[in-house]
Structure 1
Amino acid sequence: MHIACAVLALTLAFTLLGQVPANLFMLMFFLNLVTVGLGVVLHELAHKFVAIRYGAFARFIAWPAGLALMIIMAAMHFPLLIAAPGAVYIFTPLGKKEYGIVSVAGPLTNIALSLIFAAAMFPVAALTSAMPGISTYLMLLLASGAQINAWLAVFNMLPIPPLDGSKVLPWDGKVYAGVIVFALLLVFIIVPLLAGSAQLLFG
């Protein structure tokens, strides 16, 4: 229930933030639902499986105030969306290192998904001439997936409790810096560059 609420709220927020025309709203909502759903669910599964490896129990709990704030900011078209739908809580005592590893697993999963979505734009863009309609929708889906997952990694790595970054930073500052810097590069440089290159080569 908590994950479902977070997925729907994030999907609505990212769709509103995109300021798409009314006739395309449901299409973009569906595309974002796929990418957000995949990103959030795999993020939480990564936490869960790594926690299990250490004999711990982890669970995602939605933050209603954060969900509401996120949707309001998106509806008002704030240039920067605070994507804070909730956080994973670990209910078993762990050492600082284990706690940090469990926490960083989620953002690393989003980074991996962002790269996969971005890389997939090249073969899909190559199909533009053969299947222009399908290729266009797939490109929208992949671009959405790459950008949204990169943003999810960035916001989850903020060093603010109870976000993942607040547990990773005390464990290892170098790991923290590496993950958040790479996530920021994904958002502002790598994903836009790959998307533009795919369109330029095959568009």
Structure 2
Amino acid sequence: MANPIDDLASVWYDIKKYYGFDKDELKGIVVAVLVLAFIVSFDDWGVEKFEFFYGLKNLFNSMLIVLLSFLVYLSAQRITAIKSGFKAEWRVWTYGLLIGLVLVFVSRGKLWFLAPGGVIVYHMAGHRICGFRYGLNYWPLGMSAIMGPLACAVLAIIFNLLLGVFPENSLLEKAMRVNIWLAIINMLPIPPLDGSNLFFATRMVYVFLLGLVLGTLIPLLFSIHILYSLLIGLIAGFILWQVLFWTLER
């Protein structure tokens, strides 16, 4: 019987060894944070006229929000992958950033398309997983990838709860909205977005989580209470699961 303490020590050792970011990842993360911060602060450079320093302050605040959200997003993916014996690396999606910039200009800051990139998962040398040495299947890839959007969904809920305590805090509201759109957009089954990895791994789990995330987070944008939002999310996930099961999987 495995010793839980030894298992935790092994996982902690792997996290310390494999968690770090390589040079390409760091460059991509810096670019993504700057672009996403610009997108979410596009409409915050003055109320009636352009105000440079006011906008600069909002850009800086947006950078902090995006950076925090991004670190939580990537950490959830990496730790999940490491725990399964894999290493996750994040790669920037240049076209996704360009689409986001075009949409925010066209919509004058009203549309946030936050699709900065996706995760690549590969086997860590010297590990043996499920009897297959150096093998990789869709399940660990999908579960590692989807943890990013799910982590942002949890962050959005946390910020929503904090808004209940500090209802006038505009930073909390922006942080909630940033994480809502990061979670929703990156759940889409479009390569290289992370939702596509779970979609190809298991459509049944994917549609349930998609319904859960959409049904929970979208109502938060309209100030619906979190308990009702969670209930809507569970119902939406169950309905989508049933639809897929009875139409395609049965």
User: What does residue 141 of structure 1 align with?
Assistant: 171
Letter in 2 for 1:113: L
Aligned equivalent of 2:39: 13
Aligned to 1:106: 148
- Corresponding residue number in structure 1 for 2:78: 48
What number of residue pairs does the alignment pair up? 183
**Deviating more after overlay: 30-39 vs 115-124:** 30-39
Whose helix proportion is higher, 1 or 2?
1
Distance between the aligned counterparts of 1:158 and 1:18, measured in 2? 28
Give the aligned residue type for 1:189: P
Greater relative contact order (Cα 8 A, min sep 6): structure 1 or 2? 1
* Equivalent residue number for residue 28 of structure 2: 2
Following TM superposition, the consecutive aligned residue runs of length 4 or more in structure 1 with deviations greater than 3 angstroms are 17-21, 78-81
* Aligned 1:142-181 pairs, distance under 5 A: 142-181=172-211
Q: 1:23-46 CA distances to partner (integer Å, 9 max, x unpaired)?
A: 332232222222211111111111
- Quick check: 1:150–1:184 contact (8 Å CA) kept in 2? no
Percent identity, aligned pairs only?
27
Name the residue aligned to 2:119. 88
CA separation of 1:36 and 1:194: change in aligned 2, threshold 3 A: farther
Cα distance in structure 1, aligned partners of 2:166 and 2:173: 11
SS of equivalent residue, structure 1 residue 159: coil
Alpha-carbon contact 2:91-2:118 (below 8 Å) kept: yes
Report the CA distance shift for 1:121/1:194 in structure 2 as closer, same or farther (over 3 A).
farther
Structure 1 residue 76, shift from structure 2 partner = 2.2
Instruction: Give the stretch that moved more between structures: 85-94 or 75-84.
Output: 75-84
2:91 aligned partner, one-letter code: I
1:156/1:164 contact within 8 Å kept: yes
Call closer, same or farther: CA 1:187–1:91 in 2, change over 3 Å.
Answer: same
- Within 5 Å, which residues of 2 pair with 1:61-100? 61-77=91-107, 79-92=110-123, 93-100=135-142
Instruction: Specify the alignment match of 1:132 in structure 2.
Output: none
| CA separation of 1:91 and 1:150: change in aligned 2, threshold 3 A | same
| 8 Å CA contact retained: 2:153, 2:217 | no
Gaps of 5+ in 2: 1-26, 124-134, 226-250
Q: Is the 8 A contact 2:44 2:55 kept in 1?
A: no
Tell me if the contact between 2:73 and 2:147 (Cα under 8 Å) persists in the aligned partners: yes
* Alpha-carbon offset, residue 188 of structure 1: 2.8
Larger radius of gyration: 2
